Amino acid sequence: MNILKQIKDCADTMPERVAFRNRSQTLTYGELWTASDRLAAALEEACGDNRQPVAVYGHKEAYMPVCFLACVKSGRAYCPIDCSVPDVRTEAILECLDSPVALAPGKLAVKTEKEIWGADRLASIIGEGQRPESGRAERNGKGAPRKTAASGMQPVNGEDTFYIIFTSGSTGTPKGVKITADCLNHFLEWSVDLGGPEKEKQGAVFLNQAPFSFDLSVMDLYTCLACGGTLWCLEKEVQEDYQSLMDSLKNSGAGVWVSTPSFAELCLADPSFGERLLPRLRTFLFCGETLPCATVCRLKNRFPQAAVVNTYGPTESTVAVTEVEITDEMANGEKPLPVGKIRPGTRIEIWDEKGELLPEGEQGEIVILGDTVSTGYLGREDLTARAFFVRKEQERQIRGYRTGDAGYLKDGMLYYGGRMDLQVKLHGYRIELEDIESNLRKLPGISHAVVIPRERGGKIRSLTAFVSRDQSLTGDEGEEQQSGDGAMLRRQLMEFLPSYMIPKKIVVLPRMPLTNNGKADRKALGGMAR
């Protein structure tokens, strides 16, 4: 699979087919290809020898996929940043990217030395004829080969980085996972057959729930484009309003669903969510967090014709490396559900604390080796060396990644057993609790911060933070101020962290409870959080 070639074939043979839709815009394959060519040429001219990764800032505007393809066609990786990311974090990510230009289909107003190409600039580069507009499809001679303005350029290829996705980092700074063109192409060779053969997905509508700054979106965006399908984007505003969400789903004609289980659970709360609303839906693809049996049973009840597929994997190994279609027997029987069989090209090993291989059935750390493992974290050799390794096998170098996930293998299936560190999943979002803690400690006067996940029904439902102030600021005066502090701290924290990372409750303690060895007593705090 070569995703660029695949998209070009679609643009050549069916230029008028819609590749991308949001609430107000439509983009055909023809427009996607030509617009990204023009933008690639402009990028090449502006950046010259600088081939550093380019930020693409926005939400689900039709220019987003145009910008992604323009970067890779011009030989540069792209890094999507969603508009919901707070300015301080956006600035930190922009600092890591050494391109002189940032592409911004969304409104970007942060401190940066980069030249920002906003929506107007992008429109003028791309040209009137290629501007995505409501309901308009470009008229192109069917089957006429597309002219490639960017034909002199060397697109991203092989081991070149294709995209960079930033995930929560335990030091309080996000880390950028580099995914190569090979990783993506290998992943797509497998993902097009998930839940049923590729031919059944040809031309289907794929739902996009996750913002492009999360790797789950790679599963819908590129699998869709590889199948000549239409990506139906559910924007943030649509997802936040039940009526708009159900209306959008109804109008979508979706055949393939890609989301976290949490999002499907949210939809299941609406009684109209079922086969009548989505009569063409045949495949549910889940990834990113535990898929509860109860959710599978409810989905199978409402969508008797659809396959429910659980997949597992971290951003560091290109979205997902295992898959299993959950049968009725699995859903009603054995718990927990397996996360699946391992994709060809990937090997999974289970290690003990010393890095020794554990036998089948024994739980240890899940280690992923193979052709979709990332080349590491952008500009962070220290973190890369801690989590990634290269193994030489029969003259071949194989990359490996220590996930920090616990699990075991049984009869060729992988079972997930939770995290071994302080990383959690809340409503499908990956969060390092230490990331929140370190940002809380940056707030004026805060010396200690511990974040505790609150669980119900075996699932994390919210976060509670406990903080204590600098000793120098406490005393009578300090303690008097504490009662109203939580709300103020939440507001302050919003400057630094996206809303899904803000603890629901922040409790200011006169003093942090400590264990015998002087560490914050997470167990005691866990009891207080309940």
According to CB under 6 A, which one of 57, 117, 206, 312 is a site residue for ligand AMP?
A: 312
Member of 6, 74, 130, 167 binding ligand AMP (CB under 6 A): 167
From 144-152, 307-315, 346-354, 391-399, give the range in contact with ligand AMP by CB under 6 A: 307-315
Q: How far is residue 344's CA from residue 335's CA, in Å, rounded to a whole number?
A: 26
Parallel, antiparallel or unpaired: strands 505-509 and 459-469: parallel
In degrees, rounded to 5, the angle at the alpha carbon of residue 308 between the alpha carbons of residues 307 and 314 is: 135
Q: Shortest gap between Cβ of 177 and ligand AMP (angstroms)?
A: 8
Instruction: Between 33 and 162, name the residue whose CB sits nearer to ligand AMP.
Output: 162
Quote the least distance from Cβ 519 to ligand AMP, whole Å.
24
Nearest to 149 by CA among 132, 128, 126: 126
Q: 236-256 as b/e, with b when 16 or more CB fall inside 10 Å?
A: eebeeeeeebbebbeebebbb
Are 72 and 161 within 8 A, CB to CB?
no
Backbone angles phi, psi at 418, to 5 degrees: 95, 180
Task: Return the number of the residue (252 or 317) whose C-beta is nearest ligand AMP.
Answer: 317
C-alpha separations of 502 from 431, 458, 489 in Å: 10, 21, 10
- β strands within 411-487, DSSP E: 413-419, 423-426, 429-432, 446-456, 459-469
Task: In whole angstroms, give the CA distance from residue 257 to residue 265.
Answer: 13
Restricting to residues 274-303, name those near ligand AMP by CB under 6 A.
Answer: 287-291
> 424 or 512: whose CB is closer to ligand AMP?
424
Query: Closest separation between CB of residue 37 and ligand AMP, Å?
Result: 31
Binding residue (CB under 6 A) for ligand AMP from 37, 215, 323, 435: 215
Number of residues engaging ligand AMP in binding (CB under 6 A): 18
Question: Which residue in 208, 310, 374, 464 binds ligand AMP (CB under 6 A)?
Answer: 310
Range 496-529 burial, b when 16+ CB lie within 10 A, else e: bbbeebbbeebbbeeebbeeeeeebbbebbeeeb
- Looking up tokens 């050494």 gives 98
Q: Is 280 exposed, middle or buried (0-12, 13-18, 19+ CB in 10 A)?
A: middle
Closest CB to ligand AMP among 336 and 513? 336
Residues 365-424 that bind ligand AMP (CB under 6 A): 403, 405, 416, 419
Least distance to ligand AMP from the beta carbon of 324, Å?
9
Residue with smaller CB distance to ligand AMP, 132 or 314: 314
Nearest to 4 by CA among 144, 155, 207, 152: 155
Return the biggest CA–CA distance within the chain. 79
**Which range, of 311-319, 445-453, 498-506, 519-527, touches ligand AMP by CB under 6 A?**
311-319
Interacting residues with ligand AMP between 333 and 352 (CB under 6 A): 339
Cβ closest to ligand AMP, residue 160 vs residue 215: 215
Nearer to ligand AMP, 71 or 339 (CB): 339
Cα 235 from Cα 208, distance rounded (Å): 9
Query: 102 and 112 in contact (C-beta within 8 Å)?
Result: yes
CB of 165 to ligand AMP, least distance (A): 8
Of the pair 44, 434, the CB lying nearest ligand AMP is at 434
Give me the 472-511 binding string for ligand AMP, x by CB under 6 A, dash otherwise. Answer: ----------------------------------------
Binding residue for ligand AMP (CB under 6 A) from 15, 314, 407, 503? 314
**CB of 461 vs ligand AMP, minimal distance in Å:** 16
- Residue selected from 25, 36, 209, 315 as contacting ligand AMP according to rule CB under 6 A: 315
Residue pair 38/125 in contact (Cβ under 8 Å)? The answer is yes
Q: Does 258 bind ligand AMP (CB under 6 A)?
A: no
Residues 421-440 that bind ligand AMP (CB under 6 A): 425, 430
Handedness of CA 61, 66, 67, 68 (dihedral sign): positive
Contact residues for ligand AMP (CB under 6 A)?
167, 215, 287-291, 310, 312, 314-315, 339, 403, 405, 416, 419, 425, 430
